[in-house]
Amino acid sequence: MSILQTLLETASRFVPDDKPDPLIGGQVFVGRAIDRVDGAAKVTGGARFSAEHPIENLVHAEPVFSSISKGKVTHLDLSAAKAHPGVIAVITPEDMPRLKPPSLFSLLKPDKFAASNLPIFQDNRVYWNGQVIALVIAETHEQAQEAASLVRAQYEVESPASSFESGKAKATMPKDILGEPPEVKIGDAELNLATAAVRIDAIYKSPYYSHCALEPHASIALWDEGKLTVLDSTQHVSGYKLSLAQVFGIDPDSIRVIAPFVGGGFGGKAGFWWNTVLAVAAAKIVQRPVKLALSREGVFRTVGGRTIAEQRVALGATRDGHLTSLIQGCITVTPSHARYAEQCTFPARHLYTADAIHLSQHVVDLDMVANTWMRAPGESIGTFALESALDELAIELQMDPVDLRRNNEPNRDPTKGTEFSSRRLIEAYSLGASAFEWKSRNPVPCSQRDGSWLIGQGVATAYYPAIRIPGSARVRVESDGRAKVFVAANEMGMGVATTQLQHAADRLGLPLPHVEFQYGDSSLPSSPMAGGSCQTLSILAAVRSAIEKLQRELLKLEQRDSESVLKAAKYEDLLALNSGLYLASDTSRGVTIAEILRKADLPFLEAEATSSLPVETLKYSMASYGAQFCEVRVNDSTGETRVSRWVGAFDCGTILNPKTATSQLQGGIVMGIGMALTEEVLFDERSGRIMNPSLAEYHVPVHLDVPHIDIHFCGIPDPHTPLGARGIGEIGITGVAAAIANAIYNATGKRIQSLPITLDKLM
Ligand code: MOS
């Protein structure tokens, strides 16, 4: 049993059975397509990213990157850089304060989330091609950039391991994958495969991908009498505070990390990376505020992305489409300083019944930048392999691929054996199939043509687990009837500032404009990272705890009044509405919050609380599900693929705000289109160097690449989560590449098993 499971099971003995959130079904603002509260600020330039804050006396940092993958820097010629106008310092590891190495990610430990545990810029060792080997500080960014280009390095080169193909032979099984076993075995899957009436056995490949968030990573670090303030483009202000404290060996209370607006992250800003540490150290060394705004190339070189992967999926089935064998074996890359096996087999652990199951993962250790979370790490590429294979099996069976999935729908979690908290995958398929008019498609490849364009349709399952991490929140109600909610929370474009307002207004029974949400600042009660699609749910739980505590205190205050209509009421008898607390049995009887505070002669009342451990995720199999339907047009002479139609139907529990939720899912699908068709980081395998570190040569989808994306929601509340909601941030990208590959097969009769599906593969 993992440490996490032991911990959760111990805790579960102290936590009463989870009852559905009483607010489910009673919402006023939750569920409405409310405009983003920060929308106007964003489109008018009022919302500033980290690098855009005007700071007095600011200097600029520019890194120099190693051009080798492994070895030592034996000499740095800094003379030309130092002589360049405007240069203040050229910092090397010798100038650095001694720092402790950061700790690798550990679930439920908010200070442990680095993608790499290498010492940061502490010696002359080189671990990957692109690692920072010097840092130029100058009066302007242009001067720093020019001077950085003048630094000359000499190396003692060691031969790096940079080839996935050669590394595969030495792949090892990781100790665990996010606390779960690396291998799951039920029955004899190989035997069942060998004896199956129909079988598929194939290898699926995918390249290294980079997040390419709109805003490249940036930090401004300011020291003031031992106090540190960092404006940082992070997905985790609370964690960055704790990690900086750990690395620099200083008191966390002397550190403040601020990130009100982040221009996307997709996981690339969730781990603890070098750039922030370098800015903080540089500001200490030059004794001026330092801005380190990475160039696009700088992000490619110093922040890791999604692993290269090779996956075998083998499926055995009866003639009537019942799975007798489900095998998925994944090989991914993780350097020894990262130790992160991306969870490719997680979807297969929970999606389908099969008589025998064998799921396993292995990792290859290469000398490269640490791989990291990138939107649905593991699940995105895992579903590419699994859902492509399901389609291939459906074709072998001459069965509709939707029916094949219906045939193998489990009623309990197929590998954990636990009950589903709520699972509406089949409903999502029905919803999507009818919106897409799936019934009218022709299953015969090459049967639909428009001039030189072959047309095809494909479908795949989307899956992402529901994760919740404990966090804290503070809520204040004021005598004028207004309320403020304080959570460290990170807003990188997903709409957290808007949906949390909707939640707090409903939970408190207040009009929306009377509630304010303060976030993006590590001095506020700590919250988990905006990652793992868990931030919204985690904050909902924390805010719910804080509001319940506050309301109980309000009731106690009110009951000091012997005349009160709530004199005999218990907390459970009350509803929060009309800016007050009212009897559920007679909602005309109650009292406003303002009135309670006035009688108690209090200007305001506050409560802070921390949410419970996520024991529900142990007790139940909890996840969001979806069905991705798409149509592609493939040019029969150039191999060009255009995605022409998309319908995604999702079961993510209660949808807090259909507008922001639709946008999240559309964003995930757009990112999946890039993953399927155009995105690929190219390595020179001799040197391990990234050869296309720019958006000119790493093609993310642009408007012309994306059709209208039609999103539908089942909208059925999950009885075991706050408000019945589950995460939506990552599920959108899952299943996308498979749906596209399946549609391309339907259009052309060509089965492409390696991503991205570029023109050459279709010629
Ligand atoms: Mo997400 S890949 O956990 O930001």
Tell me the pLDDT tens digit for each residue of 26-71.
899 999 999 999 999 999 999 999 999 999 999 999 999 999 999 9
663 Cα to the center of ligand 1, angstroms: 16
Beta-bridge partner residues of 711: 648
Asked if 169-209+306-467+618-761 and 468-613 have one fold, the answer is yes
**Nearest-5° Cα angle at 162, 161 to 167:** 65
Residue 552 has pLDDT above 70, yes or no: yes
Ligand 1 atom closest to the CA of 730, numbered from 1: 1
Q: Which of 167, 107, 532 is nearest to 332 (CA)?
A: 167
Confidence of residue 686 (pLDDT cuts 50, 70, 90): confident
Give the phi and the psi of residue 186 in degrees, each rounded to 5.
-130, 120
| CB distance 274 to 302 below 8 Å | yes
Give the mean pLDDT of 698-709.
97
How many angstroms separate the alpha carbon of residue 626 from the centre of ligand 1? 18
Instruction: Please check whether residue 571 is in contact with residue 552, taking contact to mean a CB–CB distance below 8 angstroms.
Output: yes
pLDDT > 80? residue 519: yes
DSSP class of 678? T
pTM of the model: 0.97
Distance 464 CA to ligand 1 centre (A): 11
pLDDT confidence band for 1 (50 / 70 / 90): very low
Alpha carbon distance 505, 51 (integer Å): 33
In this prediction, residue 191 carries a pLDDT of 98
Sequence spans of domains, the chain = 50-159+211-302, 169-209+306-467+618-761, 468-613
Please report the atom of ligand 1 found closest to the CA of residue 375.
Answer: 2
Q: Taking 80 as the threshold, does the pLDDT of residue 688 lie above it?
A: yes
CB burial string 416-451: b at 16+ within 10 A, e below: eeeebbbbbbbbbbbbbbebbebeebeeebbebeee
Out of 595, 616, 680, 730, which one is annotated catalytic?
730
Please name the residues in contact with 754: beta carbons below 8 A apart, sequence gap of 6 or more: 204, 205, 206, 761
> Using one digit for the tens of pLDDT, what is the confidence trace for 487-496?
999 999 999 9
CA distance 266 to 729: 9
What is the fold of 468-613? Answer: Aldehyde Oxidoreductase; domain 4 (3.30.365)
To test ligand 1's pocket by mutation, which of 105, 217, 266 has the most ligand atoms within 8 angstroms of CB?
Answer: 266
Confidence of residue 504 (pLDDT cuts 50, 70, 90): very high
> In whole angstroms, what is the distance from residue 39 CA to residue 44 CA?
9
Residue 2: is its pLDDT beyond 60?
Answer: no
Give the position, in ligand 1's atom list, of the atom nearest the Cα of 373.
2
pLDDT of 14 above 80: no
Q: Is the dihedral of CA 359, 365, 366, 371 positive or negative?
A: positive
For the CA of 729, the nearest atom of ligand 1: 1
Q: How far is the CA of 554 from the centre of ligand 1 (A)?
A: 38
CB 401 within 8 A of CB 391: yes
Does the structural domain 50-159+211-302 have CATH classification 3.30.365.10? Answer: yes
CA of 340 from ligand 1 middle (Å) equals 13
Q: Cα-flanking dihedrals φ and ψ of residue 298, to 5°?
A: -60, -35
pLDDT in tens, 621-630: 999 999 999 9
Catalytic residue check, 730: yes
pLDDT tier, 3 (very low <50, low <70, confident <90, very high otherwise): low
Report pLDDT digits (tens) over 87-98: 999 999 999 999
Of 538, 565, 569, 577, nearest to 552 (Cα)?
569
Q: What spacing in Å lies between the alpha carbon of 737 and ligand 1's midpoint?
A: 18
Peptide bond into 756 cis (omega under 30): yes
Q: Which ligand 1 atom is at minimum distance from the Cα of 267?
A: 4
Residue nearest atom 4 of ligand 1, based on CA coordinates: 267
Query: pLDDT by residue (tens digit) across 196-233?
Result: 999 999 999 999 999 999 999 999 999 999 999 999 99
Give, for ligand 1, the residue of 234, 343, 469, 730 to mutate: max count of ligand atoms closer than 8 Å to Cβ.
730
pLDDT value at 419 more than 70: yes
Q: What pLDDT does 16 receive?
A: 47
Q: What is the mean pLDDT of the chain?
A: 96
- Indicate the pLDDT class of residue 13, thresholds 50, 70 and 90: low
Rounded to an integer, what distance in angstroms lies between the CA atom of residue 599 and that of residue 593?
A: 10
C-beta separation of 497 from 686 below 8 A: no
516: alpha, beta or left, given left = phi > 0 and alpha = psi -120 to 50? Answer: beta
* pLDDT at residue 11 in the model: 56
Which residues share a beta bridge with 125?
Answer: 72
Q: Which residues line ligand 1 (CB under 6 A)?
A: 235, 265-267, 270, 373-375, 377, 531-532, 730
With tokens 């801005």, the residue in question is 291
Q: Could you give the percent of the chain with pLDDT greater than 70?
A: 98
Percentage of the chain modeled with pLDDT above 90: 95
The CA distance from 13 to 412, in Å, is: 23
Could you tell me the two tokens for 335? 């350097």
What class is the 169-209+306-467+618-761 domain?
alpha beta
- Assigned token pair, 290: 């330092």
The two structure tokens encoding residue 632: 């592609």
Q: Give one DSSP letter per residue of 550-603, joined into a string.
A: HHHHHHHHHTTSTT-TTTT--GGGEEEETTEEEETTEEEEEEEHHHHHHHHT-S
Cβ partners under 8 Å of residue 61, min gap 6: 135, 136, 137, 144, 278, 279, 282, 290, 291, 292
